[in-house]
């Protein structure tokens, strides 16, 4: 037999099957139903009610940060409005079937009646004229012709103006879905013609739960702390979070360990939470050498100094929230929750606020510095130095009591001033707020006396019953502190309450009014008035009006 005989034709050699191209997680798990849309329940409820009642707007504006689902929501609305159901007899629904031709073609991006435009590359008025002309034509096969215009704020002013009339009164078969990340750049004339939906940042706990679901479908294991780190780094964006998760899976070792927290920290350049707590503890202990060594150790591991300060800020913020009674973050490890609770019990609000301001200033300085690690060290030393200073309120008490303040007083929890011996029960009670302030000042309670001067507007004072006006906001602890201190000073129980009725002017208000009257009287004197007429920019010598007002008050 010859080689040309058909019996020798073995056909083409077998070819390897072509591998499906990899789809990144952000595309693979793009929501296909409203139930899969993460963190936007309020918007879904509004759309559901509008569809059920047949109250569909002709134009929708979807706003929000990147990755919250604006374009996905627009496509879902397009499917919801055009779905005909598996039997072809359905109407608009919040739960599109996903199997009818409109649903499948929209999901695959091939529906001729759903037109997606990127306003960044179609900014001109001619592009809008093309949209307007095409909008007059009926839909080819769908119920509605839908225009999805992404990043609509990129349109030019003339393009917006050209679109206005059609946007306000489009044909009955046309719907406009506009999406933007910068709603402040969209003209008010456009905003007023659209039904607006603000897509919110997705909470970190919901993102972490979503990532857990995605990983279960992908067959990949991950530590809960790793997912919490990714969720925080995503800053409310599902797309950003899935992109980081994709990178973390690729970064994970091939030994089956899955996505680990330490690998995620290394990948993102984040400071270890335990290391941050160590640095904060050293700062509060004023151990400068140890704090600088810990900072350098993090820097040697590749951690950005700014990230260390960001971690310190997050920790101080968490301590402050714990101090006011906010429930702990479930995503926090137990050891971090315990450390935060311990610090919240030991540190005063004044110390926490001071730490926050100093760390925030250091964080901003590092961002602008030519030498970031050196700037971080200097900022950390400034925080440590400030932590050794006494609390201002404690300092004021010591100065008022005549006790020299200690130069090495530690910041946390100022010690209360020694309580004076109780007055005998038969001592006369103060009859005015001025008398109460004088009594407190003479009893080494200068701080409370000053607060009452500023805030105490008396509605009624009868014996040991004091009613303060709440017409203006009062400090939260003023009423309780006043009652307790007056009981200790006078030896009698005091009832201190508030009433919304307006009260007498505070001592400071009275002093300010007296000062204003004194200055007005001085300016009205003929010689002084003539001097000011001759020299319009002249001013009284510093403190002179106060001195004269004091003399007149004493007289």
Arithmetic mean of pLDDT, 73-80: 89
pLDDT value at position 309? 93
Q: Which residues pair with 467 in a beta bridge?
A: 460, 497
Sheet containing 114-118: give its strands across: 114-118, 145-150, 174-180, 59-63, 195-198
Q: Quickly name the fold that domain 25-198 has.
A: Rossmann fold (3.40.50)
**What is the number of residues in the chain?**
555
From CA 436, how far away is CA 426, in angstroms rounded?
17
Arithmetic mean of pLDDT, 268-297: 85
CATH 3.10.290.10 fits 204-268, yes or no: no
φ and ψ of 462, to 5 deg: -135, 100
Q: With b meaning 16 or more CB within 10 Å and e meaning fewer, what string describes 414-442?
A: beebeeeeebeeeeebbeebeebbebbbe
pLDDT value at position 325? 86
Residue 408, pLDDT above cutoff 80: no
- CB atoms closer than 10 angstroms to residue 309: 28
Which percentage of the chain shows pLDDT scores above 70?
Answer: 83
Arithmetic mean of pLDDT, 160-164: 88
- In the numeric block, the tokens 């134009």 are attached to 59
Local structure of residue 118 (DSSP, 8 states)? E
Query: 244: helix, coil or strand?
Result: helix
Sheet containing 458-462: give its strands across: 458-462, 465-469, 495-499
Do residues 437 and 507 lie in contact, with contact meaning Cβ atoms separated by under 8 Å? Answer: yes
From CA 65, how far away is CA 39, in angstroms rounded?
13
pLDDT value at position 531? 66
From CA 320, how far away is CA 324, in angstroms rounded?
7
- The two three-digit tokens of residue 282, written as one number: 């050293």
From CA 548, how far away is CA 517, in angstroms rounded?
11
Residue 346, pLDDT above cutoff 60: yes
Local structure of residue 222 (DSSP, 8 states)? B
Residue 421, pLDDT above cutoff 50: no
For the chain, the structural domain boundaries read: 25-198, 204-268, 273-387, 433-504, 508-554
CATH assignment of 273-387?
Answer: 1.20.272.10
**Range list of H helices, 91-237:** 101-107, 125-135, 157-168, 188-191, 204-218, 224-234
Query: 218: helix, coil or strand?
Result: helix
Residue 400, pLDDT above cutoff 60: no
From CA 538, how far away is CA 285, in angstroms rounded?
52
If pLDDT is split at 50, 70 and 90, which confidence band does 422 have? Answer: very low
- CB atoms closer than 10 angstroms to residue 366: 24
């Amino acid at each position: 037999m010859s080689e040309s005989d058909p019996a020798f034709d073995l056909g083409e050699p077998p070819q390897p099957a072509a591998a499906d191209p990899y789809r990144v997680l952000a595309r693979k798990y793009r929501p296909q139903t409203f139930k899969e849309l993460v963190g936007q329940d309020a918007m879904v409820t509004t759309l559901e009610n509008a569809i059920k009642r047949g109250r569909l707007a002709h134009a929708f504006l979807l706003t929000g940060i990147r990755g919250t689902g604006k374009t996905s929501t627009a496509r879902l609305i397009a499917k919801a409005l055009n779905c005909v159901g598996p039997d072809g007899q359905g109407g608009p629904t919040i739960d599109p079937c996903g199997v009818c031709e409109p649903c499948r073609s929209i999901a695959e991006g091939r529906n001729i009646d759903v037109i997606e435009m990127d306003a960044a590359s179609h900014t001109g008025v001619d592009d809008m004229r093309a949209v307007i002309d095409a909008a007059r034509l009926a839909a080819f096969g769908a119920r509605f012709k839908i225009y999805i215009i992404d990043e609509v704020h990129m349109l030019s002013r003339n393009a917006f103006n050209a679109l206005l009339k059609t946007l306000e009164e489009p044909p009955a078969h046309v719907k406009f879905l506009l999406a933007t990340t910068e709603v402040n750049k969209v003209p008010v004339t456009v905003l007023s013609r659209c039904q607006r939906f603000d897509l919110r940042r997705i909470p970190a706990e919901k993102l972490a739960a979503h990532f857990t679901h995605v990983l279960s479908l992908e067959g990949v294991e991950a530590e809960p702390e790793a997912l919490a780190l990714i969720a925080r780094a995503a800053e409310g964006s599902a797309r950003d979070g899935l992109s980081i998760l994709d990178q973390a899976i690729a970064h994970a070792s091939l030994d089956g360990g899955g996505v680990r927290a330490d690998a995620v920290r290394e990948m993102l350049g984040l400071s270890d939470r335990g290391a941050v707590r160590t640095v904060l503890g050293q700062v509060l202990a004023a151990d400068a050498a140890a704090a600088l060594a810990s900072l350098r150790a993090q820097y040697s591991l590749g951690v950005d100094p700014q990230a260390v300060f960001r971690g310190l800020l997050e920790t101080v913020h968490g301590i402050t929230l714990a101090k006011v009674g906010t429930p702990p973050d479930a995503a926090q490890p137990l050891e971090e929750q315990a450390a935060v609770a311990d610090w919240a019990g030991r540190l005063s609000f004044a110390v926490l606020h001071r730490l926050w301001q100093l760390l925030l200033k250091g964080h901003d300085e590092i961002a602008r510095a030519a030498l970031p690690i050196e700037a971080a060290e200097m900022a950390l030393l400034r925080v440590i130095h400030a932590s050794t200073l006494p609390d201002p309120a404690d300092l004021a008490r010591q100065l008022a009591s005549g006790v020299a303040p200690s130069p090495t007083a530690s910041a946390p929890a100022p010690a209360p001033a020694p309580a004076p011996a109780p007055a005998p029960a038969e001592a006369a009670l103060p009859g005015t707020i001025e008398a109460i302030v004088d009594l407190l000042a003479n009893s080494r309670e200068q701080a409370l006396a000053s607060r009452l001067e500023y805030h105490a507007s008396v509605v009624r004072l009868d014996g040991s019953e004091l009613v303060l006006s709440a017409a203006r906001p009062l400090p939260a602890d003023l009423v309780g502190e006043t009652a307790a201190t007056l009981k200790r000073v006078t030896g009698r129980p005091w009832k201190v309450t508030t009433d919304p009725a307006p009260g007498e002017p505070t001592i400071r208000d009275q002093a300010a009014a007296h000062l204003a009257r004194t200055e007005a009287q001085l300016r009205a004197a003929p010689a002084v008035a003539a001097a000011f007429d001759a020299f319009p920019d002249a001013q009284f010598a510093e403190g002179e009006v106060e001195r004269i007002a004091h003399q007149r008050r004493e007289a």
